[in-house]
Chain A
Amino acid sequence: MKTFLLELKRGVLTTIIWLTTITAFTWVYFTMFETLSSDMLVHILADFPEEFLKAFGMDTDFTTVLGYFSMLGLYLVLFGAIFAANLGLHAVLPEEMERTADFLLTKPIIRSKLLTQKILADLIHLILFATTIGLSNYLFIRLYTGGLAFEIHSYLIMIFGIFLMEGLFFSLGLLISMLVKQLDSPLSVSVGLSVGCYILATFNTILDETFLGYIVPFSYVKFTYIAETGSMRSYGLVISLIVIVFSIAASYLLYERRNIASAT
């Protein structure tokens, strides 16, 4: 229990910084709703090549609330993924690199229970992240879109999509950390992984839904698709859950027998 609380506290500052930055960013984006959703922008964008628009998530209907949110959503999913992958990578690795694992793991603990405490603490951070994004954006929508109607159900699916991607990238980050002996800069791995997937997802959109759609996680929760159909791609949900369960299970098995390198 103490490890859980310690773990929870450890990441608090990082999470607050992430959320403050992202909330500020979304606030600025929504203050421009009136300008960007006008006919003027539609005319300007009409002159752009379609591929360009797709690449930056601008192939959306800016005059509707969820269409407008979809472009932002592309980046929210990306930030969520980086944040989560980073948490996953940091679950056990820093403890080993700062050698406090020598202290912790020689106590009468069972490693799987320890890992559970760490994962639960991180899960709270992930939930906090998705919830804050969900609530703040809802607030901004209410404040800046002039009372335009939108499908709240679809909005909630979008927020769930962010959470699902967080879960996926967290579990991948955790698994990667179990496969390496040490990692000098975890952030570059989490950014690399997330941005890599983002670029592949962009290709997929430009190429009009290829097989990549099945492989690249961000395609599972494409916001423009959710805005149109009111649901996420069901195969995406299934694949995500399978990957999450597999990665977490594999991480437990690997951690159970993990050799903790010594200082000398």
Chain B
Amino acid sequence: MGTHSIEINDLTKMYGKNRGIDGVSFSVEKGEIFGFIGPNGAGKTTTLRILVGLIFPTSGSATIFGKDCITDGSSIREDIGYLPGEVFFYEKMRVGQMLSYSASFYKKDCTKRMNELVERLEIDTSRRLDSLSFGNRKKVGIVLGLLHSPSLIILDEPTIGLDPLMQQTFFDIIKEEQQKGSTVLFSSHILSEVQKLCDRLAIIKEGKIIRIDDVASINREAYRKYSIVCDTLKASDFSDGGFSEFIQKGNEMSFLHSGDINKVLTLVADHRIIDMKIAEPTLEEIFMNYYR
């Protein structure tokens, strides 16, 4: 077995004439937490649903643990934990019934891990599922995804509906799973989450992967965020290449610039500057560059 947990090769999915994803390729190494970032509708969910066997690709291939996602789907899923963005249950069941129904599909005995998680997330297993609040449903979803101690965890926008405290607990659990040797594929449109948790990430836009890189190196990129207050500077002074995210409000303006800092300083040197700040941009702001 190679070092890859997931290998996706030129994966394409068309919904009739509509694009789902187009030639997506990336691989996730064993033991890493891999972020999958993109705006809504970019194709994150489509990609993940192919991996867990809910939909079938138009062309291309995907392997998990070296086995084909389609032909070996059922044996692969023995070892995958999947947590979709919104969790749906058999509403008339009680939490405990749902959990043991889920556990019954796996060859291994899941009781111990299941009870640990239930205790940790403070879930009342005697409640009926249709009486649960959104946050509590989410918690049950987490247990459902993890109760069989999967070696690959696939999370599709998992933090929606979790309060900050729960979110922290959730991240802790995910990190512990990683330390135990699990691989995690984590999709999100919120970069700060990914920044906090992931080692590497892929950015998807309109069905195509536009970048795959370390989170650290994306952070390090020589973008600077400038905020200038000045009465005489105009937007047109910043029109040549290298400037992006230009925003002007009255005499205040802000923009991103990658490259030589002196170029900006020369440009503003002849003007009377009231205030000027140079800062590292947040990942969000870097990220916006890819969206345009």
Q: Footprint of B on A, CB under 8 Å? A: 2, 6, 98-103, 105-110, 257, 259-260, 262-264
- Contact A263–B88 (Cβ < 8 Å): yes
- Contact A108–B75 (Cβ < 8 Å): yes
Stretch at the interface among B23-31, B102-110, B233-241, B265-273: B102-110
- Contact A102–B54 (Cβ < 8 Å): yes
Q: How far is A2 from B98 in the complex, measured between Cα atoms in Å?
A: 12
Least CB distance from A116 to B in Å reads 14
Beyond A102-B84, A108-B106, A110-B74, 12 extra complex contacts between A and B, CB < 8 Å: A100-B88, A100-B89, A101-B54, A106-B54, A107-B105, A107-B106, A108-B74, A108-B75, A108-B76, A109-B105, A257-B56, A259-B54
User: Inside 8 A of A99's CB, which chain B residues have their CB?
Assistant: 86, 88
Q: How far is A6 from B76 in the complex, measured between Cα atoms in Å?
A: 25
Most chain B CB atoms below 10 A, which of A6, A107, A110, A264: A107
Stretch at the interface among B3-11, B45-53, B242-250, B283-291: B45-53
Q: Which of B51-79 contact A (CB under 8 A)?
A: 52-56, 74-78
Tell me if B80 is interfacial: C-beta within 8 Å of chain A.
yes
- Contact B144–A259 (Cβ < 8 Å): no
- Contact B54–A260 (Cβ < 8 Å): yes
Q: How far is A257 from B50 in the complex, measured between Cα atoms in Å?
A: 11
User: Inside 8 A of A2's CB, which chain B residues have their CB?
Assistant: 101, 104
User: Inside 8 A of A263's CB, which chain B residues have their CB?
Assistant: 84-86, 88
- Contact A98–B88 (Cβ < 8 Å): yes
Q: How far is A57 from B45 in the complex, measured between Cα atoms in Å?
A: 55
Least CB distance from B256 to A in Å reads 31
Tell me if B134 is interfacial: C-beta within 8 Å of chain A.
no
- Contact A106–B52 (Cβ < 8 Å): yes
User: Inside 8 A of A110's CB, which chain B residues have their CB?
Assistant: 74
Tell me if B82 is interfacial: C-beta within 8 Å of chain A.
yes
User: Inside 8 A of B56's CB, which chain A residues have their CB?
Assistant: 257, 259
Also in contact, A264 and B85, with CB within 8 A (given A105-B53, A108-B74, A259-B56)? yes
Q: How far is A160 from B80 in the complex, measured between Cα atoms in Å?
A: 46
- Contact B86–A103 (Cβ < 8 Å): no
Q: How far is A151 from B88 in the complex, measured between Cα atoms in Å?
A: 54
User: Inside 8 A of B78's CB, which chain A residues have their CB?
Assistant: 108
Interface flags, B106-143, vs A, CB<8A=1, else 0: 11000000000000000000000000000000000000
Q: How far is A264 from B86 in the complex, measured between Cα atoms in Å?
A: 9
Q: Which residue of A lies closest to B78 (CB)?
A: A108
Q: How far is A260 from B54 in the complex, measured between Cα atoms in Å?
A: 5
User: Inside 8 A of B82's CB, which chain A residues have their CB?
Assistant: 106
List 9 contacting pairs A-B, 8 Å CB cutoff, sorted by A. Answer: A98-B91, A103-B89, A106-B54, A108-B106, A257-B56, A262-B45, A263-B86, A263-B88, A264-B86
Q: How far is A45 from B274 in the complex, measured between Cα atoms in Å?
A: 105
For A264, give its contact among B45, B89, B101 (CB under 8 Å): B45
Q: How far is A109 from B101 in the complex, measured between Cα atoms in Å?
A: 13
- Contact A103–B102 (Cβ < 8 Å): yes
Least CB distance from A11 to B in Å reads 13
- Contact B88–A108 (Cβ < 8 Å): no
Interface flags, B87-98, vs A, CB<8A=1, else 0: 111110000000
Least CB distance from B92 to A in Å reads 9
User: Inside 8 A of A98's CB, which chain B residues have their CB?
Assistant: 88, 91
User: Inside 8 A of A107's CB, which chain B residues have their CB?
Assistant: 77, 102, 105-106
Least CB distance from B84 to A in Å reads 6
User: Inside 8 A of A102's CB, which chain B residues have their CB?
Assistant: 54, 84, 88
Least CB distance from B285 to A in Å reads 26
Q: Which residue of B lies closest to A260 (CB)?
A: B54
- Contact A100–B90 (Cβ < 8 Å): yes
Least CB distance from A8 to B in Å reads 14
Least CB distance from A60 to B in Å reads 45
User: Inside 8 A of A264's CB, which chain B residues have their CB?
Assistant: 40, 45, 85-86
- Contact B53–A106 (Cβ < 8 Å): yes
Least CB distance from B140 to A in Å reads 11
- Contact A103–B54 (Cβ < 8 Å): no
User: Inside 8 A of B40's CB, which chain A residues have their CB?
Assistant: 264
User: Inside 8 A of B91's CB, which chain A residues have their CB?
Assistant: 98
Also in contact, A260 and B77, with CB within 8 A (given A100-B88, A102-B84, A103-B88)? no
User: Inside 8 A of B104's CB, which chain A residues have their CB?
Assistant: 2
Q: How far is A260 from B91 in the complex, measured between Cα atoms in Å?
A: 19
Q: Which residue of B lies closest to A256 (CB)?
A: B56
User: Inside 8 A of B84's CB, which chain A residues have their CB?
Assistant: 102, 262-263
